[in-house]
Structure 1
Amino acid sequence: MSEIQVTVVTADAKAQQTVTSGTRAWELFTDTPEVIAARVDGQLRDLAHELTDGSDVEAVAIDSADGRDILRHSTAHVLAQAVQDLFPDARLGIGPPVVDGFYYDFDVETPFTPADLEKIETRMRKIVKEGQKFSRRVTTDADALTELQDEPYKLELIGLKGTGNAEDAAEGASVEVGGGELTIYDNLDRRGEVTWSDLCRGPHLPTTKRIPAFKLMRSAAAYWRGDERNKQLQRIYGTAWESKEALAEHLHRIEEAERRDHRKLGRDLDLFSFPDELGSGLAVFHPKGGVLRRVMEDYVKQRHIEEGFEYVATPHITKEGLFHTSGHLPYYADGMFPPMEMEGSNYYLKAMNCPMHNLIFSSRGRSYRELPLRLFELGSVYRNEKSGVVHGLTRVRGLTMDDSHSYVTREQAPAEITHLLDFCLSLFRDFGLDDFYLELSTRDDTNLDKFVGSDEEWAAATRVLEDAARESGLELVPDPGGAAYYGPKISVQARDAIGRTWQMSTIQYDFNQPRGFELEYQAADGTRQRPVMIHSAKFGSMERFLGVLVEHYAGAFPPWLAPVQVQAIPVAERHADHLHDVARRMRAAGLRVEVDDSDERMQKKIRNAQLQKVPFMMIAGDDDIEAGAVSFRYRDGRQDNGVPIEEAIARVVEAVESREQV
């Protein structure tokens, strides 16, 4: 056999290696059992992939991001095999990996029950134990159509191959069908006989025995290809990890996330609700939730003013022509509510504030001396989110954005982006979030119809954003294709108290809208120049950020944010007047205080305050009244007795002003 040269790529170096022709990728990694796939010349491949001369080969470990995706996709195949073993009439949809897990869609006559999931999981464990081999097979469209004639959804995906629609067929559909060659994966038993097959691009684990730990989580209804006009299928969700310990940690995180669920805490703490009478994705804030919003809004308004922004306000509806000028109707119409006809014109609920801010800029002539011109609005907008993605406060249809737009010269753009990024990060730190990375969303050069502007404009804008992001020192993650139609953007991704990532603020470089609105300023040399427009939303939406904070703090807000900062609890009815007097003095110092003078026993009142996660409880009995004092009970159960009233007020004021957590 002839010899070939391959290059083994590691994180630290590249090393050439001589092997015989016909060598498979697995032969390079026999001493590293954690390797479950390889990246060959930039493409993920099975370990059974035959290497060619000059290939660059990089190991893919099971605990890497790619490795986990391959593990989870392989486990999804085991799930589908188990379902068809137990429910032979089940027809297959798609089964991609997703964040922290996988799913597979099935067309079945009767929805799956929890008992069904137990049976399916038991069957999956048997398949894993059998050590079935994942074997890749290239096929033709014609042969695949014959082989999969009983799988109507697979036939539809084959029909989409090469049309440009396969990537959009459904979340993860591109995992099933690529635009190039068509492949099927067979599961082979120890005798080499096919036990099950599925249309798939791969890659997969070498065998099912390489699945260390998995669990089925739940089932739910899901429309085929995510389109509510299509048939409703049954989706089974699962998770898979590189070890039993990693699975246990993930399940613990899920339990913690459920404990922190802002929808449950919002109800328990009487913060907000979603009345059916209003419609899906529309929240109302109760008095305590209103306090939270007011504190957040007052704070962000003041910070914008300190950072050089001017506060503006714009209406909730506008004639449709405005959104044609901005480009939103041609590119964002699906995200907007249908128009309302009035006086011979169509009016739209606004889905964004930027077109109105452009009108403010163009309301009079502008000079270069006014730039940067920074406009800020707490503007309510309305977005026609699909019912399947609406989720509590974190995905709503009616939202309020702390929306700002900076109008700058091209030369000012880099400094302004750095300024905005520093501003965003400082805001998050003030609210207790301090673990970030950045995501740079750029144009997808394979689908240019989704974007406006020249190659030169996109390159220049992307370079400015990337430079600012790298100067921050934070990790920068690429997001190709994630840009807005009018320009690239930086997104701040923040990790909460249990390590989950939330997209927070976005900073977007827009060279399109100033052109559409014909915005101009007079330059120093007297010429008319076009400004660059930089969009930024610090919290994103007030609703979403509030939901994130509820979960980050598990409802136990630091004193400066807490809706009720002090709960006053009299030992007996005769002590209530003393506490009402202290409460009045605290309110005069700007504190939020309530006195519980209900008929409940003192211990029940303390328990109620604990359940409401109030930072300070202020208790008074006979000794406290005689001494002109109160007893402090903290959220963690500590208690200080006989604290003089002035000191008690000072303690709470200091905790609020320092933004400390108690």
Structure 2
Amino acid sequence: MRDFLNEKELNTLNHSCAHVLAQAVKHLWPHAKFWVGPVVEEGFYYDIDLGDDTITDEDLPKIEKEMKKIAKDGKRIVRHEISKEEALEEFKDDEYKVDLINNFEDGTIISTYSQGDFTDLCRGPHVDTVKQCRNFKLIKHSGAYWKGDKNNKVLQRIYGVCFPTKEELEEHLQYLEDAKARDHRKLGRELGIYMIHDLVGRGLPMWMPNGFTVRRLLSDYIMNKELALGYEHVMTPSLGNVKLYKTSGHWDHYKDDMFPAMKMDDEAYVLRPMNCPHHMVMYKQSLHSYRDLPVRIAEIANDFRFEASGALTGLERARAFTQNDSHIFCRPDQIAQEFKSVAELILDVYKDFGFEDYEFRLSLRDPDDTEKYFGNDELWEKSESQLRDVLNEMGVKYYEAKGEAAFYGPKLDVQVKSAIGHDVTLSTIQLDYQLPERFELTYVDENGDKVRPVVIHRAILGSLDRFVAFLLEETKGNFPLWLAPKQVVVLPVNNKYHEEYAKEVVAKLRKAGFRTELDNRDEKLGYRIREAQIHKIPYELVLGNSERDEGTVTYRLHGEQKQTTVSFDEFVSLLNTEVEKKTIRR
């Protein structure tokens, strides 16, 4: 995806096209008034007050037609500089522009841009003529509160994009079509992965049978990886006493993002936004020697955060989600090895899923503003140096981001580029010196003294919900065989003659551990094959006379026309190999 915000020429062109949009709207709705028309990540938009009128899908082609007329006319875009007083007079009939102008200090010189019969308040810059804005497309429209305040009037927001050439525009529109087809919200609905219903609550996903299967498989997958590395799994409650979060410090810094407290008797409880306080209490329950460390506690944990309604985005941003979370309690001399072990686990997992377009971001403290960070200079410098040395030793590509560390310690984030061009943080490793201090955690060192451990927070899959959303968009819902909710669908050619054999095959496949369904509906075979394709089931078995008589199966892979006939045992061996290798088809 092109960078509308940072590509200077593209930014200027799109800002100029926003003015062409406003001019066209003014021609069609002379009473229209305008708020702002900025360039954003996806192109540009303009917020417009149309009084009692509302933009519909049918209006966008009309506006585009008028914009093309304006662009063809080719008027020059001319800059003017006027005083604040002159600006207030010129835009006196538009309360939105008046509001903007009143934000300027008295004596400020304000710029406007004119193109034919339209003048707009703007700091610029703009292209020379509206003719340069001819390669555009209006993408969508929505309502938007004036100034983003829900107490204000709802304005009409129209989004668009503009490119220097027709070819670049067509390429971008194709990208948008692909992104639309990959949208996890669309795929999640079509494939029966999850649903959200207002009666249950916004931002509260409910996992359907197919989605729960994927979640269960992901949970088993990562827990087995963790068990092999010496992690111990726990289960803690999804709420906690307010005192717990006051002890951890989250209450002072994070309570606005938490659900309101529930008061019971003389105590108050909250739905937990994270799991670390619970794990701190668990560690503290026992005495620990330096020989016991590291202690690795892991949990597949349900968490809750009160996200703003406007920020909710399917599984990517929800109010209830599940984290693949862990906290490692270690000695200072173990930091480098534990950090390396987690980083290697991340690489191992990414290899299994075929992730290739990612990079490590080492987040460090701001050396010019050290007071906002917990701990002393020596502690930070040593920790940052250790993490840097580990990454260099591993030979992985990374970049440093000063000022991006958490206040309690440096961290490593893994930024993955999604199939639709989004940067997504999937995995993270964080050092923490503060929580051991706040919870007074200790272990007995080799001298018999009680000293503080270091805590490493780490998430490999991160939020399972966001991970599933990422996988849906990455694969277009074509999960690898080991993760597919339904792995095989069995299709008898004719129920009268082949259903009995189809049922035998289904039973044997299920006994062999494969998620198999029988489609013996009274529909034509071609229709049932298309249905299996739509539901993205990896393998379709078509069983007719020869398969029944010879005890074979004929399979076809999702998305392919080729059919292959093999013995039942050969087919099972094929499936087992593909599951074991976690084969990925591009």
- Determine if the TM-score, normalized by the shorter chain, exceeds 0.5: yes
Once the 2 structures are TM-superposed, how far is the Cα of residue 67 of structure 1 from its aligned partner? 4.3
Q: Which residue of 2 aligns with 1:252?
A: 174
1:525-583: CA deviation from partner (whole Å, max 9, x where unpaired): 44443333232222221112112212221122121111111111122233223232233
Partner of 1:296, secondary structure, is helix
Q: Which residue of 2 aligns with 1:598?
A: 521
Whether contact under 8 Å (1:283, 1:393) holds in the other structure is yes
1:602-638: CA deviation from partner (whole Å, max 9, x where unpaired): 3332222222211111222222222121212222334
Count of residues in correspondence between the two structures: 578
Structure 1 position 187 matched with structure 2 position 109:
no
Whether contact under 8 Å (1:95, 1:105) holds in the other structure is yes
Whether contact under 8 Å (1:627, 1:642) holds in the other structure is no
Partner of 2:311, secondary structure, is coil
1:234-249 superposed matches below 5 A: 234-249=156-171
Once the 2 structures are TM-superposed, how far is the Cα of residue 89 of structure 1 from its aligned partner? 4.2
Cα distance change of structure 1 residues 593 and 101 upon mapping to structure 2, 3 Å threshold: same
Structure 1 position 79 matched with structure 2 position 21:
yes
Matched to 2:48, the amino acid is F
- Give the whole-Å Cα distance in 1 for the aligned partners of 2:103 and 2:340: 43
- Give the whole-Å Cα distance in 1 for the aligned partners of 2:433 and 2:35: 41
Whether contact under 8 Å (1:631, 1:639) holds in the other structure is no
1:490-527: CA deviation from partner (whole Å, max 9, x where unpaired): 33222234544433122333333233222233333444
Once the 2 structures are TM-superposed, how far is the Cα of residue 272 of structure 1 from its aligned partner? 2.0
Structure 1 position 301 matched with structure 2 position 223:
yes
Cα distance change of structure 1 residues 522 and 385 upon mapping to structure 2, 3 Å threshold: same
Cα distance change of structure 1 residues 465 and 91 upon mapping to structure 2, 3 Å threshold: farther
1:116-146: CA deviation from partner (whole Å, max 9, x where unpaired): 4334434444555535346485967x77667
Q: Which residue of 1 aligns with 2:540?
A: 617
Matched to 1:312, the amino acid is V
Once the 2 structures are TM-superposed, how far is the Cα of residue 195 of structure 1 from its aligned partner? 5.0
Once the 2 structures are TM-superposed, how far is the Cα of residue 243 of structure 1 from its aligned partner? 3.2
Alignment partner for residue 316 of structure 1, among 227, 238, 242? 238
Structure 1 position 363 matched with structure 2 position 306:
no
- Give the whole-Å Cα distance in 1 for the aligned partners of 2:369 and 2:63: 40
- Give the whole-Å Cα distance in 2 for the aligned partners of 1:398 and 1:70: 40
Partner of 2:559, secondary structure, is coil
Q: Which residue of 2 aligns with 1:644?
A: 567
Cα distance change of structure 1 residues 114 and 614 upon mapping to structure 2, 3 Å threshold: closer
Q: Which residue of 1 aligns with 2:76?
A: 132
- Give the whole-Å Cα distance in 1 for the aligned partners of 2:90 and 2:447: 72
1:509-548 superposed matches below 5 A: 509-548=431-470
Matched to 2:500, the amino acid is D
- Give the whole-Å Cα distance in 1 for the aligned partners of 2:33 and 2:321: 40
Please list every run of 5 or more consecutive structure 2 residues that lacks an aligned counterpart in the other structure.
none
Q: Which residue of 1 aligns with 2:494?
A: 572
Matched to 1:660, the amino acid is T
Once the 2 structures are TM-superposed, how far is the Cα of residue 280 of structure 1 from its aligned partner? 1.0
1:81-230 superposed matches below 5 A: 81-84=23-26, 86-109=28-51, 110-125=53-68, 128=71, 130=74, 132-133=76-77, 135=79, 152-153=95-96, 184-188=110-114, 195-200=118-123, 204-205=126-127, 208=130, 210-211=132-133, 213-230=135-152
Once the 2 structures are TM-superposed, how far is the Cα of residue 384 of structure 1 from its aligned partner? 1.0
1:407-428: CA deviation from partner (whole Å, max 9, x where unpaired): 3344443443343233223213
Q: Which residue of 2 aligns with 1:24?
A: none
Partner of 1:258, secondary structure, is helix
Whether contact under 8 Å (1:440, 1:489) holds in the other structure is yes
Q: Which residue of 2 aligns with 1:353?
A: 275
Structure 1 position 587 matched with structure 2 position 510:
yes
Once the 2 structures are TM-superposed, how far is the Cα of residue 353 of structure 1 from its aligned partner? 0.7
- Give the whole-Å Cα distance in 2 for the aligned partners of 1:485 and 1:76: 41
Cα distance change of structure 1 residues 370 and 208 upon mapping to structure 2, 3 Å threshold: farther
Once the 2 structures are TM-superposed, how far is the Cα of residue 320 of structure 1 from its aligned partner? 0.9
1:214-243: CA deviation from partner (whole Å, max 9, x where unpaired): 322111112233332333222221123343
Whether contact under 8 Å (1:62, 1:242) holds in the other structure is no
Cα distance change of structure 1 residues 77 and 355 upon mapping to structure 2, 3 Å threshold: farther
Whether contact under 8 Å (2:5, 2:11) holds in the other structure is no
Matched to 1:112, the amino acid is I
Matched to 2:313, the amino acid is H
Q: Which residue of 1 aligns with 2:195?
A: 273
Once the 2 structures are TM-superposed, how far is the Cα of residue 440 of structure 1 from its aligned partner? 5.0
Q: Which residue of 1 aligns with 2:582?
A: 659
- Give the whole-Å Cα distance in 2 for the aligned partners of 1:154 and 1:515: 53
State which drifts further: 493-502 or 212-221. Answer: 493-502
State which drifts further: 126-135 or 576-585. Answer: 126-135
Matched to 2:488, the amino acid is V
1:293-332: CA deviation from partner (whole Å, max 9, x where unpaired): 1111110111122233221211011111211222222222
Structure 1 position 430 matched with structure 2 position 352:
yes
1:365-404 superposed matches below 5 A: 365-404=287-326
Cα distance change of structure 1 residues 542 and 411 upon mapping to structure 2, 3 Å threshold: same
Whether contact under 8 Å (1:380, 1:401) holds in the other structure is yes
Once the 2 structures are TM-superposed, how far is the Cα of residue 394 of structure 1 from its aligned partner? 1.7
1:382-531 superposed matches below 5 A: 382-440=304-362, 452-453=373-374, 456=377, 473-474=396-397, 476=399, 478=401, 484=406, 486-531=408-453
Partner of 1:114, secondary structure, is coil
Cα distance change of structure 1 residues 482 and 77 upon mapping to structure 2, 3 Å threshold: farther
1:429-468: CA deviation from partner (whole Å, max 9, x where unpaired): 312322113445566899999x553683666666665666
Whether contact under 8 Å (1:591, 1:653) holds in the other structure is no
User: TM-score, normalised to structure 1's length?
Assistant: 0.78
Cα distance change of structure 1 residues 617 and 434 upon mapping to structure 2, 3 Å threshold: same
Cα distance change of structure 1 residues 76 and 493 upon mapping to structure 2, 3 Å threshold: farther
Partner of 1:369, secondary structure, is coil
Whether contact under 8 Å (2:4, 2:41) holds in the other structure is no
- Give the whole-Å Cα distance in 1 for the aligned partners of 2:309 and 2:541: 45
Once the 2 structures are TM-superposed, how far is the Cα of residue 401 of structure 1 from its aligned partner? 0.6
- Give the whole-Å Cα distance in 2 for the aligned partners of 1:134 and 1:444: 43
Q: Which residue of 2 aligns with 1:175?
A: none
**Relative to total residues, which structure has the larger helix share, 1 or 2?**
2
1:24-48: CA deviation from partner (whole Å, max 9, x where unpaired): xxxxxxxxxxxxxxxxxxxxxxxxx
Q: Which has the higher contact order (CA 8 A, sep 6+)?
A: 2
Partner of 1:651, secondary structure, is helix
Partner of 2:150, secondary structure, is coil
Once the 2 structures are TM-superposed, how far is the Cα of residue 263 of structure 1 from its aligned partner? 2.3
- Give the whole-Å Cα distance in 2 for the aligned partners of 1:460 and 1:147: 61
- Give the whole-Å Cα distance in 2 for the aligned partners of 1:198 and 1:401: 47
Once the 2 structures are TM-superposed, how far is the Cα of residue 183 of structure 1 from its aligned partner? 6.7
User: TM-score, normalised to structure 2's length?
Assistant: 0.87
